[in-house]
Amino acid sequence: MNVLRTPDDRFDGLENFSYQPHYQIIDDGEGGELRIHYVDEGARDGRVVLLMHGQPAWCYLYRHMIPLLIEAGFRVIAPDLVGFGRSDKPVQPSNYTYARHVAWMSDWLTKLDLSDITVFFQDWGSLIGLRLVAAYPERFSHVVLSNGGMPAGLIPEAFAPALKAAYQDLEVPAASELAVRFADTTGIPGFLYWRKFAAHSPEIATPGSNVIGEVAGSKLTEGEVAAYNAPFPDLSYAAGARQFPSLVPLFHDEPEVAENKAAWVVLEQFDKPFMLAFSDNDPVTAGGDKAFKERVPGCRGIPHRTISPAGHFVQQEQPEQCVQAILDVIAHNA
């Protein structure tokens, strides 16, 4: 597996992010190795809070939550998924599959031997993270899920042929058009435009591009934009970011539908505190909390909340509310 590693100097002097890097070597699945980066801060004997990011972000997304959690006495661990942040970046899009992402992070989790974990999942952090919860339920004590899920063929089969055909003919949208596409509920699902954009637009890793700000309508400083772009010196580093949306199992015949359904069976028996903290203005995952409330026993009796006002990336828009959600879910059975 051909792998790139972002030069360290790309991460020098980042705005509001001066944490020492930590690394864990894992198996790449082809007889080689990959290096996963993670932040590990706070009290060594404190309760572990695991923060998992999505796409096209990295653990920098948690820059405002980490210090608040440290102040509250936690040991805070925030990894970069393979292909993102300071973690290694396989070059070929075909190197990235949903199954491999789960296997990579499973290897990382077990090698760190983390237990009694409280987790905060969002976006792809939840697609991978919830599979970890299902695979190792004994390691997790509390879950906070925000703007995420674990889809297993969301699009009804009756609509699939027409949508697949329409996707082939979609023009690649500009980053500045993405928020409008997601907000439009009358035509082709906005996520398909995002899938097209990520796979084909050079803006996903163009110096100075503000993809996260455009998607979420977030106002970012120049320093924050630069930090989000730091992992990708050029497009050759961005295969993971390009591939992720195409790995979401929207259609019933896409890979990992069966595996996600099997994971749902485990979650339907997960009775530890499970809080839903979705935002009030995220067209990507709006309504995604309903299935968890209905199916996961750990959701019962929990003070779920709406993070407001916030879009998709709640961690940077309302960090205090996100940290309070973590504190409250832990206090639920204290």
In-domain check, residue 136: yes
For residue 142, indicate whether it is catalytic. Answer: no
The torsion angles phi and psi of 143, rounded to 5 degrees, stand at -130, 135
Range of the domain at 32: 3-154+252-331
Find the catalytic residue in 282, 289, 304, 328.
Answer: 282
Question: The domain that contains 17 carries what CATH number?
Answer: 3.40.50.1820
pLDDT one-digit tens code per residue, 96-142 = 999 999 999 999 999 999 999 999 999 999 999 999 999 999 999 99
> How is residue 238 written in tokens?
């961005």
Confidence of residue 334 (pLDDT cuts 50, 70, 90): low
For residue 123, indicate whether it is catalytic. Answer: yes
Q: Which of 331, 94, 311, 109 is nearest to 216 (CA)?
A: 311
For residue 88, indicate whether it is catalytic. Answer: no
In-domain check, residue 108: yes
Find the catalytic residue in 88, 289, 312, 328.
Answer: 312
> How is residue 235 written in tokens?
């497009």
Distance between CA 113 and CA 210 in Å, rounded? Answer: 36
Determine how β-strand 140-146 pairs with β-strand 274-276: parallel
Find the catalytic residue in 123, 142, 304, 328.
Answer: 123
Distance between CA 199 and CA 201 in Å, rounded? Answer: 6
pLDDT one-digit tens code per residue, 216-255 = 666 899 999 999 999 999 999 999 999 999 999 999 999 9
The structural domain count of the chain equals 1
